[in-house]
Structure 1
Amino acid sequence: MELTALGLGLLGLILAEPVSRMLARARWPARDPVGALLLWQAVGLGGGISLFGAGLAYGLAPLGDSLPAAASVLTGAIAAGDFPEALDPLHVGALLIALGVLARLLSVLVITTVRTLRARRRHRDLLDVLATPWPFASGTRVLDHPVPVAYCLPGRSSRLVVSAGVLDALDTAGVVAVLAHERAHLRERHDLVVLPFVAWGATAPFVRGMVAAQLAVARLIEMRADDVARRLCDPTELATALKAVGGSAPAAALSSFTDALDARIDRITAPPTSLPVTVHWLVRVAAVALVALPLWALLSP
């Protein structure tokens, strides 16, 4: 299994750094945001499985030729009250490192999730007190603030929020266009798409590929929401509305405003051509393969 561990370790490192950085710089994701988001999730999940699996496979290598066989030997020995003598300090250390990395990632993910949910709950409570319903769109609340800003608070009790500045700057059609963008975030649960990458970035902020992944995914969910809104509204109306919605949104929210707004406006008014059908499906097959390959390497007898 040591060769399996080596292969998985190399795959994990390649996905975490050069692949992530190249994918973040690539231009084709703007032509297929959904496919790119699937690929990013596969890169993150496949990389995590590979790095954790590498430590696991190396640590258990003395106990068998495959992970299932080695795990069976280990659990049998522990159940009998023994510890396998074949596991020397080097292999035990590899196991502990793998488990430590997994524990670190899961703990950061849980902490990030809990903090985000708490922030959203507090913000939602404030909105229920301070904001007023907008009669032209159900579930939308108006915050009395002069700066034009629109955002959504995801979750089971989601909220769509526009400021008074948005209502002053846009007509009803423009506000509806902005809300169509925000509803796309809510409907497709983009907050859940972003969350694992936030955890990755917090777990290993020194890995530039992971930081690039977080930023790239944030851009892609905005592109995806733009695409959904463009199908429901006039593209010119949507572009004009998004230009007017500047400023910033609370950290717990998803907002249509990003530093790449000008590029998004250009993309709305002049949509890029779709990827060729072959490439479209190749991206999705690659996403499946990036997760299936390390799992197969670990679980095959």
Structure 2
Amino acid sequence: MEVTALVLLVLGVLLAEPVSRGLAAAHWPSRDPVGGLLLWQAVGLAGGLSLLGSGIVFGLAPFGSSLPAAVTGVAGAIRTGTWPPGFDLLHGAALVVALLIGLRLVGVLGTVTVRTLRARARHRDLLDLLGTPWPAAPHARVLDHPLPVAYCLPGLRSRLVVSAGVLDTLDPAQVRAVLAHENAHLKERHDLVVLPFVAWGATAPFVRGMVCAQVAVAALVEMRADDVAANRAAPAELTAALGSMGHATPAAALSSFTTALDRRLARIADPPAPLPAAVQLGVRLAAVALVAVPTALLLVP
């Protein structure tokens, strides 16, 4: 099991740093945002499994030749009070480190989730109090504000928000394009895609690859929403609408606007050629394989 632990550790470090940095710098995800998001999720899940699993596998190595056998061995040792002679301080320390990393990750994810949900709930209550329901779109609210701003507030009771400035500044086709973009965020639950990477980056902000992952995933969900909107509205209307909008949005909201807006507008106006079907299939298979490898190393004797 020590060799398995070493392989898992190397895989986890590679995914957290050079692989994440390389994928964040790659240009092909802009040609297949869905595939890029799937691969990012696989990198995050496989990296977490590998880093946590390496410590657990090494720590439990004296109890069995595989993780399932070792878990059974630990249960037997607890019942009998007899510990294998190979279980020493180093193995115990590996288990403690793995436990601390796991608690840190779960704690940060829980904290970020609770903070985000509370911010959304407060903002939703304010919207219902101050906003005017808009019959043109379900769960939409119009805020009496002169600046053109649009965003969505995801969740079980989602809200789509536009300011009066949007309705005054944009023509109906441009308004529909903006709504299509924001509805894509809501329907595909991009907030759930982004949230784990926010937690991942906050868990170890000193690991540059994790920070790069958070930024890259945020950009890809915007590209995906752009693609959905461009399929439902004229690209020229979408670019004109996005270019006219304001950039200020509240905490916990998902917005159409990022610091990379100029690059997004250029991408909408001149869409890159999609990846060949065989390459898209390969990306999805690679995502499955990334998760399958650490899982197999953990479970297969």
Smaller-chain TM-score bracket: over 0.9
C-alpha distance in 2 between matches for 1:168 and 1:154: 25
1:59 aligns with 59
Q: Among all aligned residue pairs of Structure 1 and Structure 2, give the percentage whose two residues are the same amino acid.
A: 67
Paired residue secondary structure (2:160): strand
1:1-301 equivalences under 5 Å are: 1-301=1-301
Could you list the runs of 5+ residues in structure 2 that have no partner in the other structure?
none
For residues 142-182 of structure 1, the C-alpha deviation after alignment (integer angstroms, 9 at most, x for no partner) is 11112211100000100000111211210122111101100
**1:79 deviation in Å?**
2.9
Paired residue secondary structure (1:243): helix
C-alpha distance in 2 between matches for 1:269 and 1:247: 20
C-alpha distance in 2 between matches for 1:246 and 1:268: 18
Paired residue secondary structure (2:65): coil
Give TM-score, length-normalised by structure 2.
0.98
Paired residue secondary structure (1:151): strand
Give TM-score, length-normalised by structure 1.
0.98
C-alpha distance in 2 between matches for 1:82 and 1:243: 69
Q: Quick check: 1:74–1:84 contact (8 Å CA) kept in 2?
A: no
**1:246 deviation in Å?**
2.2
**1:86 deviation in Å?**
2.9
Q: Quick check: 2:226–2:268 contact (8 Å CA) kept in 1?
A: yes
Paired residue secondary structure (1:86): coil
For residues 174-207 of structure 1, the C-alpha deviation after alignment (integer angstroms, 9 at most, x for no partner) is 1111011000000000000000000001100000
Supply the AA of the counterpart residue of 1:209: G
C-alpha distance in 2 between matches for 1:149 and 1:86: 63
**1:260 deviation in Å?**
0.7
Could you list the runs of 5+ residues in structure 1 that have no partner in the other structure?
none
Paired residue secondary structure (1:21): helix
Number of corresponding residues: 301
Residue range with higher mean Cα deviation, 129-138 or 245-254: 129-138
Q: Quick check: 2:6–2:54 contact (8 Å CA) kept in 1?
A: yes
For residues 107-134 of structure 1, the C-alpha deviation after alignment (integer angstroms, 9 at most, x for no partner) is 1111110110000000000000011022
**Root-mean-square deviation over aligned CA pairs:** 1.0
C-alpha distance in 2 between matches for 1:270 and 1:140: 31
Paired residue secondary structure (2:250): coil
Q: Quick check: 2:62–2:84 contact (8 Å CA) kept in 1?
A: no
